Every structure is written in C-alpha cells, then in structure tokens.
Structure 1
Amino acid sequence: MNKKIQFQLSFMMFLEFFIWGGWFVTLGTFLGNNLEATGAQSAMAFSTQSWGAIIAPFIIGLIADRYFNAERILGVLHIIGAILMYLMYQSTDFGAFYPYVLAYMIAFMPTLALVNSISFNQMTDPGKQFSFVRVFGTIGWIVAGSVISYLAWDSSENIAQGMLKNTFLMTAIVSAALGIFSFTLPKTPPKINKEEKASISEILGLDALKLLKDRNFLLFFISSVLICIPLAFYYQNASPFLTEIGVENSTFKMSFGQMSEVLFMLLLPFFFKKFGFKKTILAGMLAWTLRYVLFAFGDSGDLVFMLIIGIALHGLCYDFFFVSGQIYTDSKAGAKYKSAAQGLITLATYGVGMLIGFEIAGMISDKFLIAEGSHDWYSIWIYPAGFALAVAVLFAIFFKDEKIEYKEQ
C-alpha cells in the first residue's frame, strides 16, 4: 500500500469518526436541555442507531456489494447526511428533530462498513496494516470532543443559550467534506455479480444461526445481547450526567475513553494469550460493573477522579469484550460463515441488544427524575452496574473455557 493511498484511507477514517463523535456524544445533553426531551424520547433518538444497524445490511448487501462502487455510495450517503444534519441543526422541538435523526442514522450506519470495505480492498496484509489506518478514526473522535470543549459549547452557560446545536452544523460541514472527498478515494467495485440472487438470510448473515447449536457460542451470543443493555446507559446518559452535576469540558473528558481504546488495544494480544478468551471477556464485563459503580459514587468535586477512571475504562470495556468477541466468532465460524457470523453478532449487539438497552435506560432515567433537569444519578447507575455483574456471573458459571488463538481483526 503506497503512502498516498494510506493517507487517503487514514483521512477518510479521521473524518468518518469525527462526524460520529462530533454530535453523538453530546446528543443526550442537547435533547434534555434544548429540546426538553423526556427519558423515553431520548431513548427513541438513541435507538435510531440500532435501527440504522438493523437496516444497514440491506443497504450493503443489496446495493454496495452488487451495483455500485463502495466509495461512491459512501460519498452519496455522507452528502445526504450533511443535509439531514443541517435540518437537525434547525430543529426546535423533538417532533421535528426525530424524523431527521432517524433518517440520518439509516444513512450513516452503513458507512461504518463501507469505510472498512474500502480500506481492506487496498491492503495486502490487513492484519498489520488496518490498525494503522483505523487509529485515525479514534483520533478523529477525540479531536471532535476536544473542539466542542475548546469552543465551550458544552459549558453550562452555553448549553443554556442553545450553543450545543452548533455540533450539528459542524458535523454537517464535515460530512459534506467527506462526501466530496469520497469520490477521490481508490475504486472499490462490487464484489458480487448483480445477477446472482441472494436470500434475505444471506444478506443479514442469518446463515450463521447454525453456530447457535454450539452451546458455548449460544451462551456467548446471549451474553453479547445482554451486555449491550448496560452499554446503552453509557451512550445515552453519560453526557447528560456529567453536564448536570457540573463537570466542565465534559465532552473532552469523555474522549479519554477513546484514548484508552488505543492503550487497551495494544494490551489485548498479551492479555488474550496469557489468560485466554474466557478471562479476557470476563474482564471486559466486570469493567462495565466497575465503571457504573464509579459513576454512582463519584462527583464533580473531590471525587471527580472516580468519574475520570470510569470514563477511561471504556477501552477495557469495549476492546476486551467486543474485539475479543469478534476474534471468538471468527474462530468458531470457519471459512464458510466468517462474514455472516460477524454480521449476525453486529445485528444482535448494536441492533437488538442496544435497542432494548436504550428503551430501558430511558425508562430508568424517567423513573429517577427528581425535578426538571435533575436526576437521582446514584440510583440510575446502580441498575446497569448490577445488570452487567449478573451477566458476568452467568457467563463465568456456564461458559466452558476454550483455547482460542488471537488474530488481528
């Protein structure tokens, strides 16, 4: 892979995740403070990510894999996304905002697979080369959060003045830029003849359901769905929580989670080889419990360090569970079902699991609303802490350890 292509792919990843981090992190705060959304309405808005994840395989399987170059579809989707982002920027109530965010997520979620497809198509050794490209996506997310905090859009005073809506305008501009830039990317033609027929089960990866006959994989599959319920609490509630209790530069501080992803990704091969799959994934599950306990007892004063540690645990939570899970799925699937199995796990976690999680998180948030703009956060965070612990205990008891080899994903 030559330097020009590596730069193009790295810049593509930077913009892709700058876009996601540029509005999604502060969405919960914007909804509650600027659109006066209830917990249930916030859950509806965040659930659009899950609906996008569920619909994405149809777009990729029916269109990108058969009819058009991936880079062209990426360009069109991001230009559509830019228009929808601008409409979200102009929205003044939840009723007007929701259709735009739903349409946006249906357009955006397929792009996560497209940027990977474009990258892999140019690589001779993805196991070694992909991480050096993908890391720029993490940097993009961090930079987005840093810009928001640097411009103080997430400060208490500016939130009250409605400045947080500027995140949508910023994202619209960057999305339009990536849309245009995408047409200059290396060509990634369809890999499947459009004349070949594919069933819905093939497109969605449902052929991999045969793997569920394996008791261990079935338990892992169920655990993956269940652990996404507490994960949804973090995405939906972390930003409103930090803002409400008075943590300044909260968006930048939340980017510590992405910084830790880089560190824990480097530690994962060592941990995986030394302790094996079961202990690695259990460490990820227990990290979710610890994170929410720290959130429950921390505050913006002397105990702010507990909140920072909780945020920084994101790398351990995410890498040790999700990346380990991808490796385990790859090892169980075999050559025939590799892609289908990964698609099935993505559908189960980001689709079904988080869809349920956002709904529950919204209900719990409304239940512990003390007054307008004020919550009993201790009680809210104890729920996902207990749930994650229960999933970890069940996994520890019933999952039989297996010898799995670490392979770069």
Structure 2
Amino acid sequence: MTFPIRFRLSLMMFMEFFIWGSWFVTMGTFLGSNLAASDGDVSLAFSTQSFGAIIAPFVVGLIADRYFQAQRILGIIHLIGSWLMYRLYQSGDFSEFFPLLLVYMILFMPTLALVNSISFNQMTNPAKQFSTVRVWGTIGWVTAGILISAFSWDSPEGLSAGLLKNTWLMTSIVSLAMGLYSMTLPDTPPKAKTDGSFSLSRMLGLDALALLKDRNYAIFFLSSILICIPLAFYYQNASPFLTEIGVKNSTGKMALGQVSEVLFMLALPIFFYRFGLKKTLIVAMLAWALRYTLFALGDADSGLWMLMGGILLHGVCYDFFFVSGQIYTDSHAGGEFKSSAQGLITLATYGLGMLVGFWAAGQISDYYLDAAGDHDWRSIWLVPAGISVLVLLFFISFFKGEKELSHQ
C-alpha cells in the first residue's frame, strides 16, 4: 500500500468518525437539556443506531458487493446525511427530531462497513495495515470531542444557552465535505458474481451468513452481540452520568478514551501477532468489566481517578474487540463478499447487541431514578459489569484459538 493511498484512506477514516463523534457522545445530554427528553426518549434515540445497523448488511450486500462502487455509495449517503443533520440542527422538539435521526442512522450505519471495505480492498496485509489507517478514525472522534469542549458547548453555561445544538450544524458541514471527498477515493468495484439468475439471499446480501457455518465464527458472532449489550450502557449513559455527578469538561475528558484508543490501535498488530485472536478478545472483554466497576465506585472528587481510569480503558475495550473482529471477519469472508461480511458484523454489534443494550440501559436507568430526578449510578453501572463477566466466561469456554490468523 503506497503512501498516497494510505493518506487518502486515513483522511476518509478521520472524517467518517469525526462525523459520528461530533454528535453521538453528547446526544443524551443534548436531548435532556435542549429537548426535555426523558430517559425513555434518549434510549429510543440511541436505538436508531441499531435499526440502521440491522439494515446495513442488506444495503451493502445488495448494492456495494453487487452493483455499484462502494466509494460512490459512501459519497451519496454523506451528501444526504449533510441535509438531514441540518434539519436535526433546526429541530425544536423530540417528535420532530426522532424520525429525522432514524432516517439518518439507517443511511449512516452502512457507511461503517463501506469504509472498512474500501480500506481492505487496497490492502495486501490487513492484519498489519488496517490499524494504521483505522487509527485516524479514532483521531477524528477525539478531535470532535475536544472541539465541543473547547467551544464550551457542553459547559453549564453552554447548556443553559442551548449551544450544544451546534454539534449538529458542525456535523452537517463535515458531512458535506465527506460526501464530496468520497467521490475521489480509490475505486472499490463490486466483486460478487452476478450471473443474471434470481436469488433472494443474494438480493438481500445474505450470502455472508455462510460465515456462521464455521463454529468458531458463530461463537465470535454471538459473543459480539452479547458484549454490545454492556457497551450500549457506555454510549447512552456516560455523558449524562459525568454531567450529573459534576465532572467538568466531561466531553473533553471522554475524548481521552479515544486518545487511549489511538495508542492501543497502534499496539494491536504487535499484541495480535504475539498472543493471537482469542487472547486479544479476552483482554478486551475483561477490560469492559473493569471499566464499569470503576464507574460504579468512582465520583467527581476523590474518586475521579477511577472515572478517568474507566475512560482510558476505552482503547482496550474497543480496539482489541471490534477492530480485531473486523480483521477476523475480513479474513473469513473471501473475495466476493467483503462488504456484506463487514455489514454482517455491524449487524451483530451495533445492530442486535446494542438494540437490546439501549433498551436495557433505558429500563435500568429509569428503575434507579429517584423522585428528585437523581440516578443511583453505582447500581446502574454494576449491571453492565456483571453482563461483561458472563460474556467473557461464555467466550473462554467455547471459542477455540486461531493462532494462524495472528501471523497473516
């Protein structure tokens, strides 16, 4: 992979995750402060991600693997997304906000598989090369969080003035730039064979489901669904949690989790090579359990170090599980269905797992809400900690090591 190609793919990843990080981290806080949304409304809003992820395999399987170049689809989606983000910026209540967000996420979630597919198509050794490109997505997410805190949109003064709505305008502008830039990316033509015969499974992009015939991959797929249940608690509750207990510059502090993600992304190929896939995934799931335990025990004063420790574990939690899983999926997919295979793992993680997780997080948050409007955060965070431990035990018991993958 030449330097110009690496640079172009890295910029693509930077913009893709800047767009997502510009609004996703603070959406729970925004909905509560700007639109007076309830915990149930917040849960419903975050669930739009899951609906989009469930549809994603069909979109990329039908379109990107069979009929159109992936970079063109990516560009068109982001151009439409720019307009939708501007409409969200203008929204005045949750009933107007929710359907726009739902349409946006149905369009956006397939782009996560598309940027992976475009990247893998240019790589000769994804296990070594992908993390050096994907790390720029994390830097993009970090940059978005730092800007939000630098502009004080998430400060008490900014929240009272309603400035957090500017995140949607910022996303709209960058989405427009991403849509135009995507049209210049390296060609990623469809690779699946189209012999003219009709097949429902082909039409819906379900060919990638053949991956589940492999017992090990099926165990990994199920573990991916289950571990995303506790992950949803972090995405949905972390920003409101830190804001409610009085942590200053919470969005900027949460961005430190992505700083750690940069470091662990760069360390991933070394860890992957030395210890193999199974141990890499075990470390990730153990980190999830530890993170939520630290959140349960920490506070904004003497226990701030625990909260920061939980945030800094994000690099291990995300990189060692999700990026490893994307590489693992690509290695099993074969040449024809790389896009739909990435869509399949998106369905498992951001779709099925988080759909259950966002619902559970909303129910648990409501259950531990007192009459004064304060949450029992210790009890809330112990729930995903326990789930993470159970998923870890399941994975250790049934997944067999695949050392050969770590040397590819």
TM-score between both structures, scaled by the size of structure 2:
0.90
> 1:284-323 to 2 correspondence within 5 Å?
284-323=284-323
Partner of 1:359: 359
- Kept in 1, the 8 Å contact 2:131–2:265? The answer is no
The CA deviation at 1:142 is 0.8
Partner of 1:384: 384
- Kept in 2, the 8 Å contact 1:156–1:246? The answer is no
> 1:230-379 to 2 correspondence within 5 Å?
230-329=230-329, 342-371=342-371, 373-379=373-379
Inter-CA distance 203–266: structure 2 relative to 1 (3 Å threshold): farther
Return 5+ residue gaps in structure 1 as ranges.
none
- Kept in 2, the 8 Å contact 1:205–1:343? The answer is no
Residue 85 (structure 1) aligned with residue 85 (structure 2): yes
Aligned CA-pair RMSD: 2.7
The CA deviation at 1:187 is 3.7
Partner of 1:399: 398
Larger RCO: 1 or 2 (CA < 8 Å, sep 6+): 2
Residue 135 (structure 1) aligned with residue 127 (structure 2): no
- Kept in 1, the 8 Å contact 2:128–2:269? The answer is no
Query: Equivalents in 2 of 1:103, 1:66: separation in Å?
Result: 24
Query: Equivalents in 2 of 1:126, 1:216: separation in Å?
Result: 20
Q: Which deviates more, 345-354 or 163-172?
A: 345-354
The CA deviation at 1:327 is 4.9
Query: Equivalents in 2 of 1:64, 1:338: separation in Å?
Result: 9
Partner of 2:30: 30
Provide the secondary structure at the position in 1 that maps to 2:403: coil
Query: Equivalents in 2 of 1:29, 1:192: separation in Å?
Result: 43
1:48-70 deviation digits (Å, cap 9, x = unpaired): 11111111222222233344333
Query: Equivalents in 2 of 1:324, 1:234: separation in Å?
Result: 20
Query: Equivalents in 1 of 2:342, 2:7: separation in Å?
Result: 27
Provide the secondary structure at the position in 2 that maps to 1:375: coil
Partner of 2:225: 225
Inter-CA distance 407–8: structure 2 relative to 1 (3 Å threshold): same
Partner of 2:42: 42
Provide the secondary structure at the position in 2 that maps to 1:255: helix
Partner of 1:105: 105
Tell me which amino acid in the other structure corresponds to 1:394.
Answer: F
Partner of 2:58: 58
Inter-CA distance 341–246: structure 2 relative to 1 (3 Å threshold): same
Tell me which amino acid in the other structure corresponds to 2:404.
Answer: E
Number of matched residues?
A: 408
Query: Equivalents in 2 of 1:335, 1:184: separation in Å?
Result: 23
Inter-CA distance 92–325: structure 2 relative to 1 (3 Å threshold): same
Question: Identity of aligned pairs, percent?
Answer: 65
- Kept in 2, the 8 Å contact 1:205–1:339? The answer is no
1:203-233 deviation digits (Å, cap 9, x = unpaired): 6664455555555544433222111100110
Provide the secondary structure at the position in 2 that maps to 1:92: coil
Query: Equivalents in 2 of 1:90, 1:127: separation in Å?
Result: 43
Inter-CA distance 13–281: structure 2 relative to 1 (3 Å threshold): closer
Tell me which amino acid in the other structure corresponds to 1:382.
Answer: L
Inter-CA distance 167–297: structure 2 relative to 1 (3 Å threshold): same
Tell me which amino acid in the other structure corresponds to 1:368.
Answer: Y
1:133-175 deviation digits (Å, cap 9, x = unpaired): 3222111111111100100101122112211111001111111
Partner of 1:175: 175
Inter-CA distance 114–339: structure 2 relative to 1 (3 Å threshold): closer
Inter-CA distance 368–56: structure 2 relative to 1 (3 Å threshold): same
Inter-CA distance 125–327: structure 2 relative to 1 (3 Å threshold): closer
Q: Which deviates more, 372-381 or 250-259?
A: 372-381
Tell me which amino acid in the other structure corresponds to 1:40.
Answer: G
Partner of 2:68: 68
Inter-CA distance 334–105: structure 2 relative to 1 (3 Å threshold): closer
- Kept in 2, the 8 Å contact 1:326–1:342? The answer is yes
Tell me which amino acid in the other structure corresponds to 1:17.
Answer: F
- Kept in 2, the 8 Å contact 1:225–1:349? The answer is yes
Query: Equivalents in 2 of 1:115, 1:358: separation in Å?
Result: 25
1:279-322 deviation digits (Å, cap 9, x = unpaired): 33222112111101111111111211111110111111122223
